[in-house]
Structure 1
Amino acid sequence: MLTIDFDRFPIAAGHRVLDFGCGQGRHAYAAYRRGGRVLALDLDGAVLKEVRDMFGAMAYVGEAPPGASAHAVHGDGAALPFPDNAFDRIMAAEVLEHVPDDDAVLGELARVLAPGGLLAVTVPRWLPERICWALSREYHEVEGGHVRVYRRRVLRKLLREHGLTPIGSHHAHALHMPYWWLKCAVGPSRETRLVRRYHEFLCWDIERGNWASRTADRLLNPVIGKSLVLYAVKPA
């Protein structure tokens, strides 16, 4: 399930790509398949091992084109272990809402992005996320949980303050939002039959889906899309 739109965020063979806060690696894998020279960075060592294993499996079965490379590395977003202008593309998907000092992290991302390079940031959308917070304190008051909710104008302002120029945005994953509202309403740690059935529907949609579910998601994204996706460029 990709949140970043790679038609708006093109990755070509040889592009140096950083997946910051890679998590399970979904966007890193997509960048690798497109021929990027990918570094997937995270603080979670167990997650990084899984990502390394998947990179190895992808290379073994030939999923990545010749010249592509992929590595998983440990690193802190407030002090990235890379030189200035090191990457042509940087992805930060569903990360900034977790970090205590988002200003420091954005400063580091801007520093290691090369002039002319693109940054894609995704965060929970303000109104749907605020509804989750209103329905359940348990949803976000957990270790590693969300520490803030962004409005689009605030995130755009932060990017500009670090010398990046916003160039576009959209919303994603509208069909996922009702699932989280249900989870928050009954309690995130509880699983009712309705929650379980909706989760099964989402798994079906991710794995197969059809024109009806994809059309519904696209039409509902401007209204209840779960994620805000914002693209920016570092001026040359």
Structure 2
Amino acid sequence: MLTVDFARLPVGPGVRVLDLGCGGGRHAFEVLRRGADVIAFDMDQAELDNVANMFAAMDKAGEVPPDASGRTVQGTALDMPFEDGSFDRVIAAEVLEHIPDDMAAMAEIFRVLRPGGTAAITVPSFLPERICWALDEAYHTAPGGHVRIYTLAELSAKLKSTGFEIGPHHHAHGLHSPYWWIKCAVGVDNDDHPLAKAYHELLVWDIMKRPAVTQIAEAVLNPIIGKSVVLYVKKP
């Protein structure tokens, strides 16, 4: 399930990409499939081990184009072990809402991105996130949870003050917001609730089959209740 639109963030052979806070590696895998050189960066070594295993499996299955490379690096977004201007593209998907000093993380993204490079920054959209916070305090108070709710204006202003040029934006995952509202209403850890289970099965079916009906529904819902907002910014 991709949040970033790679038509807006083109990657390919010879392009150096940082997937910051890569988690399970969903964007890193797509970048590698497209032939770029990607570093999957995260604090969680267990997640990185799984990503490294998948990189190896993709290579063995012939899914990695010639000269493309994928590797993992552990560290913190506030002090990344990379030289200035190391990357042509940076992806920071659902990361900044976890970091108390988000502007320090933005400054690090700006530092490691080359002049003329582009970053895709995604965070939870204001309305869906605000509803989740209202329905269940545990949703955002768990260790490592979300520490703020962004408006698009706030996110844009912070990135602009860091030095970025603000580009286009869009919303994603409109079908996912109701799932999280259900989860928060019945208890965010209550995975066995029948309604939550049924909606989860719908989302899995959508991800696996991509039927026209759900693609149309998501396209309609994204601008209204898209779970994530994606902002594309450029380093001058």
**What is aligned with 1:118?**
118
Name which of structure 1's ranges 185-194 and 88-97 shifts more when overlaid on structure 2: 185-194
Q: TM-score, normalised by structure 1?
A: 0.98
The count of aligned residue pairs is 235
Can you give the 5+ residue segments of structure 1 that lack an aligned partner in the other structure? none
Deviation at 1:24, TM superposition (A): 0.1
- Structure 1 position 159, deviation (Å): 0.9
- Find the aligned partners of 2:94 and 2:47 in 1 and give their Cα distance: 15
Runs of 4+ in 1 over 3 A off after TM superposition: none
**For 1:180 and 1:224, how far apart are their aligned partners in 2?**
12
- What is the aligned partner in structure 2 of residue 233 from structure 1? 234
- Matched residue, 2:23: 23
Determine the structure 1 residue equivalent to 2:205. 204
- In structure 1, distance between residues paired with 2:147 and 2:10: 30
Kindly state the Cα deviation for residue 209 of structure 1 after the two structures are TM-superposed. 2.4
Kindly provide the CA deviation profile for residues 139-192 of structure 1, in whole angstroms up to 9, marking residues without a partner as x: 111000000010001111111111111110000000001000011111112231
**In 1, Cα distance between the equivalents of 2:141 and 2:24?**
22
What is the rounded CA distance, in whole Å, between the counterparts of 2:179 and 2:6 in structure 1? 26
Aligned to 1:162: 162
Q: Any idea what SS the aligned residue of 2:138 has? A: coil
Equivalent position of 2:84 in the other structure: 84
For the residue of structure 1 that corresponds to 2:137, the secondary structure is coil
Tell me the TM-score normalized by structure 2.
0.98
Residue 132 (structure 1) aligns with: 132
Aligned equivalent of 2:38: 38
The answer for the alignment partner of 1:63 in structure 2 is 63
User: Aligned partners of 1:113 and 1:26: how far apart in 2?
Assistant: 21
SS of equivalent residue, structure 1 residue 132? helix
What SS is found at the alignment partner of 1:79?
coil
| Deviation for aligned residue 1:4 | 0.2
Q: What 5-or-longer segments of structure 2 have no aligned partner?
A: none
- Cα RMSD over matched residues? 0.7
Equivalence for 1:218: 219
Structure 2 letter corresponding to 1:48: L
